[in-house]
Amino acid sequence: MSDNYSSAGYSGSTKSSPTRVQWSTRMAFILAAVGSAVGLGNIWKFPYITGEHGGGAFVLVYLGCILIIGIPVMMAEIALGRRGRHNPAQGIATLAREAGAHPFWKIIGVMALLCGFMILMFYTVVAGWAFAYVPKAASGSFVGENGDTIGSMFGGMLADPIALTIWMTVVLGLTMGIVLRGLHGGLEKAINLLMPGLLILLLILVGYAMTSGHFMEGVSFLFKADFSKMTGTGFLVALGHAFFTLSLASGAIMTYGSYLPENVSIGKTTMIIAIMDTVVALAAGLAIFPLVFANGLEPGAGPGLIFVTLPIAFGQMPFGSTFGTLFFLLLAVAALTSAISMLEPTISWLTEKFKMTRFKACMLAGSLLWLGGLGVVVSLNIGSEWTLFGKTFFDMLDYLTSSWLMPLGGLLMAIFSGWILKKTVMQDELGLSSTIMHQLWLFTMRYITPLAIIIVFLNVLGIVNF
Question: Contact positions toward ligand PFF, by CB under 6 A?
Answer: 36-37, 39-42, 116, 119, 244-245, 247, 250-252, 338, 341-342
CB-wise, 91 or 315, nearer to ligand PFF? 91
CB of 46 to ligand PFF, least distance (A): 8
The span from the CA of 68 to the CA of 452, in Å, is: 9
CB-wise, 37 or 74, nearer to ligand PFF? 37
For 166, residues 6+ apart whose C-beta sits below 8 A from its C-beta are: 128
CB of 245 to ligand PFF, least distance (A): 4
In degrees and rounded to multiples of 5, residue 203 shows phi and psi of: -65, -40
CB of 155 to ligand PFF, least distance (A): 23
The span from the CA of 21 to the CA of 72, in Å, is: 26
The span from the CA of 320 to the CA of 318, in Å, is: 5
Closest CA to 293 of 365, 195, 400, 219: 219
Amino acid in the structure at residue 41: G
The conformational region for residue 85 under phi > 0 = left, psi -120 to 50 = alpha, else beta, is: left
CB-wise, 90 or 338, nearer to ligand PFF? 338
The span from the CA of 160 to the CA of 211, in Å, is: 35
- 8 Å CB contact between 348 and 84: no
CB of 233 to ligand PFF, least distance (A): 20
CB-wise, 250 or 316, nearer to ligand PFF? 250
CB-wise, 117 or 235, nearer to ligand PFF? 117
CB-wise, 35 or 418, nearer to ligand PFF? 35
CB of 397 to ligand PFF, least distance (A): 12
CB of 410 to ligand PFF, least distance (A): 12
Return the residue nearest ligand PFF (CB atom): 41
CB-wise, 44 or 215, nearer to ligand PFF? 44
CB of 367 to ligand PFF, least distance (A): 20
Tell me 86's DSSP state.
S
In degrees and rounded to multiples of 5, residue 285 shows phi and psi of: -60, -45
The span from the CA of 463 to the CA of 459, in Å, is: 6
